[in-house]
Structure 1
Amino acid sequence: MKAIVYHQYGGPEVLEYVDLPTPEPTENEVLVQIGASGLNPVDTYFRSGVRPVPSFPHIPHFDLAGSVVKVGANVTKWKVGDRVWATNIQGTAAEYQVVTEDKLFSLPDHMSFAEGAAVAMAFMTAHLALFARGKLSSDETVLIYGASGAVGQASVQLAKLVGATVIATAGNEEKAQVAKEAGAEHVILYRSEDIVKRVNEITSNTGVPLILDMSLSDNIERNFEMIKNRGRIVTIGSPNNNTPTLPWRLLNAKNASLQGILLFNAEPDEIQAAGEEIAKGLADKKLKAHIGAEFSLAEASTGHAALAEKKYNGSIVFIP
């Protein structure tokens, strides 16, 4: 099979398009012919060495959508021909991958494999952040930073699916439109508007009970100005500074909580429950993928460079 590998840490140029043996499923696994592999920011952290990989050569990416082509003897949930998607699967930048049956979710016929791969990590992370950590309910308002990005846009859709009110932030009018199309009632252009002032106006100075933050170090102090008493702040990342200073006094003053979310360490039952709800939303056409660009698998270096340069709104996917 064809696959992407890298033999050392580095930039997009270390990615190689190679031939590898096709894996064989064990008794509890299925073999998936990958129709699309999704790219996420975390993939660049592993490729560059910010996070270590187990060994070299290493096949990148964690998201896939495709068709089941072989099943192990003990597999009962899936059969050959089933269309599936999955996330948190090591090594999906390839034509085939083996997956344990419990990590796969159904992909409806109306969705392409590219759309399935674009949904995977973004929607799973968003769902865990909103509900497993944030405990969002239908009568609440949530502030979602970076709502035109893959996780942000997914968060808006999922929040609207349960009936919550969404305040979103965006960097420009084009990105604001993405957030509005996803369902956000209010969009704050953070480059030209004061986020705290606008949130106070929208909430009549009561603040928001939940904040989803994509860059904690940039927003941590203003978050404590906007969070409602006993509110919850869930941070999905802090790319500009991994060790931001925590203003503990402000956290205590609001009786608030600050929580993180990392998909790789999430509990299996949380992932299973979230995946089933996402799959139902996709099947009912209430959730949709947000694709920024598609590349062939052989163009992996180009796609990784595009992600680093923030060329596209939405997910980048690769087609084997």
Structure 2
Amino acid sequence: MHDMAEERVQRRLAAILAADVVGYSCLMERDEAGTLVAIKSRRKDILQPLLAKHNGRIVKLMGDGVLVEFASAVNAVQCAVELQNAMAAANADVPQDSRIVLRVGINLGDVMVEGSDLYGDGVNIAARLETLADAGSIVVSRTVFNHVRGKVKLGFDDLGEQQLKNIAEPVRIYRLRPDREAAMARPALALPDKPSIAVLPFTNMSGDPEQEYFSDGMVEDIIAALSRVRSFFVIARNSSFTYKGKAVNVKQVGLELGVRYVLEGSVRKAGNRVRITGQLIEAESGKHVWADRFDGSLEDVFELQDGVTQSVVGAIAPKLQRAEIDRTSRK
């Protein structure tokens, strides 16, 4: 019996925020007493009131950092944003080399409970993410991103899959954009010179789950073909497929993926016939640049896919270049 009880470890789902002070050892070498006083006062005046406000519980306090548990990913992210803003404000009058600057990692996952302590991958991933964050920034895992998007008015940059130390599976990570206004003013943040495009998963209109792989394959082919066109930048499939099955706001997609154009479409199958529609939208303005439909038979699915891909590429390449010329002349 005793062994059974030993094995039944208490687990729960938690959002874990890990934060630490950047360059802690240098700060301590420069001015140990001053650094400890500053960290203590930030803890009391900034961290604790914010944790009370967002229902965070301190799991562990280290000299240079803190581990906090939240019951909600939204609370954890909002708390992190307010924490970084308050820290920046408190640093405003402090000389550069004495500033207390945090980096933050947040993960949502299964944790194991032992007394007031937590452990397990849920905690370890948060700690690893925090080491990947730049000074003053916040990095979150995909589980957090999926829970908070649409619920918080924040932009995210997709940093792709990362292999984390001692974690078996790679983790997809996202960095919070500190200033949403700046993001809105410059939607194509990293891609100024080439027209950039995201191809969203096509909607399967036939209600036949068998057709799902067909429409997904179609999108993958289109992405691959567009990627071969040198004059524009295409977002990878795994980023655009995070929108699968969700109602999307094209403007939001443009901001989240940093693209100027979004291609969406649908696939409808009736008997042996397939109809594919596609439309190209300028993300920022929501303006339709191009739309068309393609009909064909299922006999030669691949030929149909190729036909669609070529037509889409053929239609889009000049349209994109045209739209680009219009857009730059508008400026």
Bin of the TM-score, shorter chain as denominator length:
under 0.3
For CA contacts below 8 A with separation 6 or more, give which structure has more relative contact order: 1
Report the TM-score, using the length of structure 1 for normalisation.
0.24
- Bigger Cα Rg: 2
Report the TM-score, using the length of structure 2 for normalisation.
0.24
